Structure 1
Amino acid sequence: MAEVGDEPTALPEGGQNAVGQAIGLIGDEWTLTILRYATAGVRRYNDFLEQLAISNSVLTNRLTRLAETGLLEKVAYQERPPRFEYRLTKRGRDTWPILLSIWAWEAAWVPEHAERLPTMRHTRCGHAFQPLLLCGACRKPVEPRDVTGDFGPAGGWERSVPAANTRRRSNSGSTATPELVPQTMALIGNRWSAALLGAAFLGAHRFKDFERSLGAPPTMVADRLRTFCDLGVLTVSPGLDRSDWLSYHLTAKGRAFFPVIMCTLDWGHRWFRSPEGRALIYRHTECRRTFTPRLACDQCRDPLRGSDVAVER
């Protein structure tokens, strides 16, 4: 019998789709941090507690949620008294391209961090590397301009936005957030931020485009656009038709976040499936086939596997 996390989750018809599920999980900084340590071999509750500046209540909440959503499996390793450890499932291990893409983007584009991000070394060629985004069909490197996308049968903004309570990023109380990847969380750690970034990659430029696509309050859209401009992810300029109609465009920094988005959506579509079909469909314009992201070493150009990446301090 397949264990939880070894088979895709069937989502209810008409409900939240794979995009909403994936962003709701990945857009939580404690979840990312726990996955990072679990990937490094941490399994037991007390070990997580010792290595993370986290409260018992927050750790218990996140471990429970990760087990319920099939990323971790809770396994007894002692009977008297009962003790459990949390092992990565196939679904949990499959998040490594997301984690790798996030670390690479933060290392390249965000100079300030609470702690130094690790160096990634490709064990097959021996070099420190940056992940290179490839088309899974033709194996050629891709940029955002090389990929077109639109909603699929299970798509739509309403179904793709994470639930409001999937992200709590408050520094109040005894436990602050880890602040390991602060700008990543500014982009996907808020339900409207993630949706606005998706709209930008799908071609939205004007305020009205974002407002219409997201169905969010104008004040929220204005706040998110201002935040993205402050982060250097978007740049604003006068519109071509009217100078008072501002136009927002992704910067080089914003476009460099593309692998994070693509790997997150690909993971979500693999592990959360709506009966109507995919939420988003992307196509590589050069080979004209469905775009599936793959990561390669930028030094030797060989495709990456999670087991081939060594983390160095």
Structure 2
Amino acid sequence: MSPARPSFANWPCSIARTVDVLGDAWSSLLLREAFYGSSRFEEFQRELGIARNTLTDRLRRLVDEGLMEKRRYESEPPRYEYVLTEKGRDFFPVLAALSRWGDRWLAGEEGAPVTLHHDTCDHDAHAEVVCSACGEPMRSENTSVRMGPGYPEHLRTRPDIVRRFTQT
């Protein structure tokens, strides 16, 4: 038996906390399928080929974390659908960014397997991370990290932490 995965839920890092909630492939793929329009257990299972016990576990986790809501759509026998909440819908840009990266680095010569169509302007498009203040693209070479207001006070003066946030 493999050891339990460590929890990142209390780390002072939103990436680590997100990975703690959605750090397995099935969770992200379930959210993708929900964006594609799937909402019922059988649809998720059919589209992903996921084992029933794994699907049950991941749907429960997404509901518990508030990304999906479980709604009854039939009384006899009781049947449920799983719909994205606001928190779940807010994960779309993350999936779009993953798709963009995969299109660039993993797609073959034939091109992207799926394209995103921006209905507002009626164009095919890709995700772009831009600065919320100036609108310019954010890239690793023009972006640095700083301690935010939620960084734990007791860690702010540790020499290794100070070095991490003052590197150029």
How does the TM-score come out when normalised to structure 2?
0.75
Change (3 A) 1:142 1:20: closer
Describe the superposition over 1:261-307 as per-residue Cα deviations: whole angstroms up to 9, x where unpaired.
xxxxxxxxxxxxxxxxxxxx9xxxxxxxxxxxxxxxxxxxxxxxxxx
Match of residue 149, structure 1, among 121, 139, 145: 145
- The code of the aligned residue for 2:59 comes to L
Identity over aligned pairs, percent: 32
Pair 1:59-2:55 in alignment: yes
- The code of the aligned residue for 2:68 comes to L
Q: Check the 8 A contact 1:74/1:85 in 2, yes or no.
A: yes
Pair 1:84-2:47 in alignment: no
| 1:43 aligned residue | 39
Match of residue 120, structure 2, among 124, 149, 152: 124
SS at match of 1:148: coil
Greater mean alpha carbon deviation, residues 33-42 or residues 131-140 = 131-140
| 1:15 aligned residue | 10
- Quote the Cα distance in structure 2 between the aligned partners of 1:111 and 1:47: 26
**1:118 offset after TM fit, Å?**
0.6
| 1:24 aligned residue | 20
Residue-pair matches, total:
144
What is the CA RMSD across the aligned residues, in angstroms? Answer: 2.5
Change (3 A) 1:68 1:136: same
Runs in 1 of length 4+ with deviation above 3 angstroms? Answer: 14-19, 151-156
SS at match of 1:128: strand
**1:20 offset after TM fit, Å?**
2.6
- Quote the Cα distance in structure 1 between the aligned partners of 2:41 and 2:127: 31
Relative contact order higher in (CA < 8 Å, ≥ 6 apart): 1
- The code of the aligned residue for 1:109 comes to W
Name stretches of at least 5 consecutive residues in structure 2 with no aligned partner: 1-8
| 1:184 aligned residue | none
Q: Check the 8 A contact 2:10/2:17 in 1, yes or no.
A: no
Describe the superposition over 1:206-229 as per-residue Cα deviations: whole angstroms up to 9, x where unpaired.
xxxxxx78xxxxxxxxxxxxxxxx
- Quote the Cα distance in structure 2 between the aligned partners of 1:55 and 1:123: 34
| 1:302 aligned residue | none
- The code of the aligned residue for 1:140 comes to E
How does the TM-score come out when normalised to structure 1?
0.42
SS at match of 2:123: coil
**1:59 offset after TM fit, Å?**
0.3
- Quote the Cα distance in structure 2 between the aligned partners of 1:79 and 1:121: 37
Name stretches of at least 5 consecutive residues in structure 1 with no aligned partner: 1-13, 160-211, 214-280, 282-313
| 1:111 aligned residue | 107
| 1:196 aligned residue | none
- Quote the Cα distance in structure 2 between the aligned partners of 1:154 and 1:122: 34
- Quote the Cα distance in structure 1 between the aligned partners of 2:83 and 2:70: 7
SS at match of 2:70: strand
**1:30 offset after TM fit, Å?**
0.5
SS at match of 1:22: helix
| 2:66 aligned residue | 70
Change (3 A) 1:71 1:140: same
**1:44 offset after TM fit, Å?**
0.8
- Quote the Cα distance in structure 1 between the aligned partners of 2:55 and 2:84: 16
SS at match of 2:125: coil
Q: Check the 8 A contact 1:103/1:117 in 2, yes or no.
A: no
- The code of the aligned residue for 2:17 comes to Q
